[in-house]
Amino acid sequence: MAASKESVAKVLNFVKENNIKIIDFKFMDFPGQWQHFTVPYTELNEGSFEDGYGFDGSSLRGWKNINESDMLIIPDPESMVVDPFIEAPTLSMICDVYEPATKEKYTRCPRNIAQKAEAYLKSTGIADTVYFGPEAEFFVFDDVRFDSTPNSSFYYVDSVEGRWNTGRDEEPNLAYKPRYKEGYFPVPPTDSLMDLRNEMILKLIDMGIHVEAQHHEVASGGQCEIDLRFQPLVTAADQLLMFKYVVKNTARLNGKTVTYMPKPIMGDNGSGMHVHTSLWKDGKPLFAGNGYAGLSEMALYYIGGLIKHAPSLLAFTNPTTNSYKRLVPGFEAPVRLAYSQRNRSAAIRIPMYSSSPKAKRVEFRCPDPSANPYLGFAAIMMAGLDGINNRIDPGDPLDKDIYDMEPEELMNVPSTPESLSAALKALADDHEYLLKGDVFTEDVIDTWIKYKFEKEIKPMALQPHPFEFGLYYDV
């Protein structure tokens, strides 16, 4: 869909009136890393939003072969924002990726997949809007080092907040370090990152992103969370990427580093990305009703779809080998595929903070912030819609604390996959629900599985692990 003349004129006028010197174009590669390139303001004109800019698609992960490398990006004028981290006055825009020969959107462009998901939802008549509200947790570290060579391997992360540093000589050590699993909500000075998170959220607000809250998270060693207001699918994904960009760069300006890696610390809580989702039509919420936890029948079927397809769904929402080091019992990780009101040990929770129908939503707690949000959000919606279309019964709710249940009680409660390999195999076997409306394609599914096995799973399997030396060196 071509940009409107009004939106293009707004960008060009903004550049002129605000003395913008640099135009930065951001777009998403296949695995989920934001990429960018830059032109001077003199290269931006009306034609930029129709003709786009060329780049080498063969240099990006999971995309083109070198013999078909030419590709285009076309900026979305509605996404313009001033970048607060670049010295020269810089306007940033998010772009869509196109095939130059046909001027059609590239099928492996994650943003295109999210856009097709929104279009498919409208075509079903079930709803016209799907909202997503992600809660992406992250760690703030002071020092990170890692290396893997043919004869050595190690990682080292450190934080002035780390409980492991209570005995370190810090000249002086001031001792306020959150206990393991007790980092949730202590006031400063135990929470040493209050000012940093405030700086992050104020930058986000200045950039037009609606922030709802910020706080320290459960783990020792600098775990934090900033919550964004729910938005329609594509906007939510766009804003999550800008959020990660702002958080990382604000930390760097303060001499710290941020990671969204799900499990960087052994023995403490990992970082999840609980995703709140709901369907609306004609401005009215569709998940409120008279059923369990105030849910509608539609919402319960949506949950049924999430539970049924969760093993394959996690190939997109939990897409790293490290993701499955978080999905283990005992660290508030939702490893059991059940639903419940208020219960945070279940994979799907129905928040009960408000009785307003507009607040009625489903919280899918399995995902983590390593996910490509365009693919993850689209897959969540497609699983939920399949549940609605096929009236999938989610079964009975599970209101007990799952971690306190006896093994025989848990025998009939399915679990999340134990590894990325298992999730990818589930995706290979169960992806018809993703192909409806041409939202995902067989090529996207096949390429995703192939890329993950060849670039991540197989190399990890070949690398000796330091812990193995303690287990096996003396055999």
What DSSP letter does each residue of 248-309 carry, written as one string? Answer: HHHHHHTT-EEE--S--STTS----EEEEEEEEETTEESSBSSSGGGB-HHHHHHHHHHHHH
CB 91 within 8 A of CB 20: yes
Q: Find the mean pLDDT for residues 203-209.
A: 96
Q: How far apart are CA 175 and CA 177, in angstroms?
A: 6
Query: Exactly one of 29, 83, 118, 135 is catalytic; which is it?
Result: 135
- Of 172, 174, 151, nearest to 161 (Cα)? 174
3-class secondary structure, 42: helix
- Note the pLDDT of residue 216: 96
Q: Is 274 an active-site residue?
A: yes
Q: Is 391 an active-site residue?
A: no
Query: Exactly one of 108, 111, 197, 274 is catalytic; which is it?
Result: 274
- Note the pLDDT of residue 400: 77
Q: Is 137 an active-site residue?
A: yes
**Does residue 266 have a pLDDT over 90?**
yes
Pairing mode, strands 129-141 and 70-75: unpaired
Backbone angles phi, psi at 46, to 5 degrees: -55, -40
Q: 23 forms bridges with which residues in the sheet? A: 39, 91
Q: Is 418 an active-site residue?
A: no
Residues 6+ apart with CB under 8 A from 191: 178, 183, 185, 216
- Note the pLDDT of residue 111: 96
**Does residue 1 have a pLDDT over 60?**
no
- Note the pLDDT of residue 67: 62
Written as six digits, the tokens of 119 are 């279009």
Q: How many CB atoms lie within 10 A of CB 437?
A: 16
Q: Is 326 an active-site residue?
A: no
Q: Find the mean pLDDT for residues 44-52.
A: 94
The H or E element spanning position 338 is strand 336-341
- Of 161, 259, 268, nearest to 219 (Cα)? 268
Q: Within 13 Å, how many C-alpha atoms sit on residue 145's CB side? A: 5
- Note the pLDDT of residue 413: 86
Q: Tens digit of pLDDT for each residue in 104-125?
A: 999 999 999 999 999 999 999 9
Q: Is 56 an active-site residue?
A: yes
Query: Exactly one of 46, 56, 212, 429 is catalytic; which is it?
Result: 56
Q: Is 78 an active-site residue?
A: no
- What is the share, in percent, of the chain residues with pLDDT greater than 90? 84
**Does residue 70 have a pLDDT over 90?**
no
Q: Find the mean pLDDT for residues 397-422.
A: 84
Q: Is 363 an active-site residue?
A: yes
Q: Is 252 an active-site residue?
A: no
Q: Find the mean pLDDT for residues 210-224.
A: 95
Q: Considering only residues 169 and 336, tell me which one the structure prediction assigns the higher pLDDT.
A: 169
Q: Find the mean pLDDT for residues 191-199.
A: 97
When pLDDT is cut at 50, 70 and 90, the band that residue 101 belongs to is: confident
Query: Exactly one of 76, 83, 96, 137 is catalytic; which is it?
Result: 137
- Note the pLDDT of residue 330: 66
If you average pLDDT over every residue of the chain, what do you get?
93
